[in-house]
Every structure is written in C-alpha cells, then in structure tokens.
Amino acid sequence: MLRLYTHPACLQHDPGPGHVERPARLQAVLQALDHDRFAALDRIEAPRVTREQLQRVHSAAHISEVLLGAPAGEMLALDPDTVMGPGSTEAALRAAGAVVAAVDAVLGGEARRAFCAVRPPGHHATRELAMGFCLFNNVAVGAAHALAAYGLKRVAIADFDVHHGNGTQDIFEREPRVLFASSHQSPLYPDSGRKDERGVGNIVNGTLSPGAGSHEFRELWEGVLLPRLHAFKPQLVLVSAGFDAHRNDPLADIRLGSEDYAWITERLAALADAHADGRMVSTLEGGYDRGALAACVGAHVGALIG
C-alpha cells in the first residue's frame, strides 16, 4: 500500500497575491488524489519536524529565522521569491516532518513507498538560506534522518524538477553516503547544476536545453542518471518530484507530458525494488500549471502504486 502524507497547514502557507507557489497548487494535487482510483491510499497526517532533525542539514541561524516567521498579519520576504506569511512556519514544519515520517514508515516496514503532498517545496533551501520558494529542504531532512536514525550507508536522491536542486547539492556535496542525481533545464534558475559539479563523486547533474522533450529527458535518465543510481545500490530511494518540466508550465521551457512522469517513476521504483527492498519516498517540489500538475501527480502516484 502507498502512504500519502499531507497536512491542512500546508494550505495555509500564503506567499501573497500573484505568487506562483500558491495554495491552489496543493489543492489541485489533493483533488487529483481524491479520485476513486486512489481510494486505497493510506492517508496520514504529517507530524512536525523536530529541531534536532532540522539541525542535521540546516544552520541554527537559518532554523531560527524560519521558526520566528512572519509577524501576525504581515509578510516577510526572505529573498525576492521566497515570502513567509503567518501560516508559513507551521507549513514548513509539517512539510519537512512529512518526509521524516515517510522515511520512518518505509524503513520501519509499515509501508514500501510513500508520497508527501506538501508545500512549501524544499530542494532550493541550502544549509544557510531559504530561497527559490523553499524554507526547509524537506528531502535533505529525510535523507539525513535515514543516515542518523537508521545507520544507512547509501541513500539516493533523484530530482527531476526542471530547476536544479542546488540546496540538496549544497547540503550533501561532501557526504559520500548520499548520491544526488538531477535532471534540469540549463540555463535556468538557480544557474547551478553543471556537469562538472561532482562533489566527492556523489553528485550527478544532467542538463536539458530549452525546448527539449520526452526523447532527450528519457535518454538522459536511461543513459546517464539511472546507470549511476543502479551502480550506487541505494538502500533507500528519495525523490524530489517537481512537475515543472511539463510543456504547459510557465516557469520553464521543457516539453514533457504526464506520461513521461509515469515513465521515470516506474524506472525509479524499479531501482528501489532492485536495491532497496522497494523502499521509496517521494515529495512534491515544483509544478506551476495547476492542470498539468494535477495530471502529472496522478501519473506519478499511479506509478508508485504500480
């Protein structure tokens, strides 16, 4: 059975009128997952992450800034794109907590796979900074928890968001127990993720040129990223699941369809089956066209269910 982690607080993070990372994104996702074909999902309310869990990947100063949050009735801009409202701190705690709880579930034998339908997203948040709509790095918190609490030696993070997960790379580029494999458009925000950024041999970046589509995306994963992931033999597979490489997304220029997200999810599930006893946790990142996002999440979760 697939576990679904979410929390109503994630709908209360409101970065202000006109912001593309709006609550309606998660509403579209949850509506898509309310379909009869997902009736068997094991739906769990996400807990709050703890300060100890956050401190494994974020500085004390960064954690304090997010926990202090925005004053009641006001907005707090951490950078030009990343804005907190009164409900943002609780949403961030639940989003990171969802991934930790999902890791506990799959490593504790309660579930084989899990999807975290949460926001704010996380993969741009570095050890020191909130950026790119992200407050805490949810997937990094989950990976560090797997290392610290379960003693895993090999955790893989696969990131197919159209934007490079610079925060995840920043946090783990000197941690050989974590392999980070990313496909992303270049050039594009945050202007990182070159092929020569290799960390300690644990960073694998694959770039897609503007206008690339299904063929280029699948060729990159089949030819470069998946072979490296299989060679690593991960004991746990984590996924930064961004759906903004869809052809309708307003923030990028890659031309994928929902069928491509089903395809990559099936390949990553096969990776988990081959090396990690099927243990796989996926968490929502980007995707800013609500119709495309709903369709892509449906394809992704359908493939996770298998």
Q: Identify whether the C-beta of residue 118 lies closer than 8 Å to the C-beta of residue 95.
A: yes
List the one residue out of 210, 211, 169, 164 whose CA is nearest residue 184: 164
How far apart, in whole angstroms, are the C-alpha atoms of residue 83 and residue 19? 9
Element (H, E) at 294: helix 290-305
Q: What angle do CA 82, 237, 45 make, to 5 degrees?
A: 60
Q: What angle do CA 224, 229, 232 make, to 5 degrees?
A: 130
Question: Regarding beta strands 42-45 and 2-6, do their DSSP bridges make them parallel or antiparallel, or are they unpaired?
Answer: parallel
DSSP string covering 32-100, please?
HTTSGGGTT-EEEEPPPPPHHHHHTTS-HHHHHHHHH-PPTT--EESSSS-EE-TTHHHHHHHHHHHHH
Based on the residue annotation, tell me whether 124 is a catalytic residue of this protein: yes
Q: What's 103-137 look like in SS3?
A: HHHHHCCCCCEEEECCCCCCCCCCCCCCECCECCC
Which strands sit side by side in the sheet containing 236-241, from one edge to the other?
42-45, 2-6, 113-116, 280-284, 236-241, 155-159, 178-185, 203-208
Token representation of residue 287? 């995707």
Identified catalytic residue from 13, 58, 62, 124: 124
Tell me which residues are annotated as active site: 124
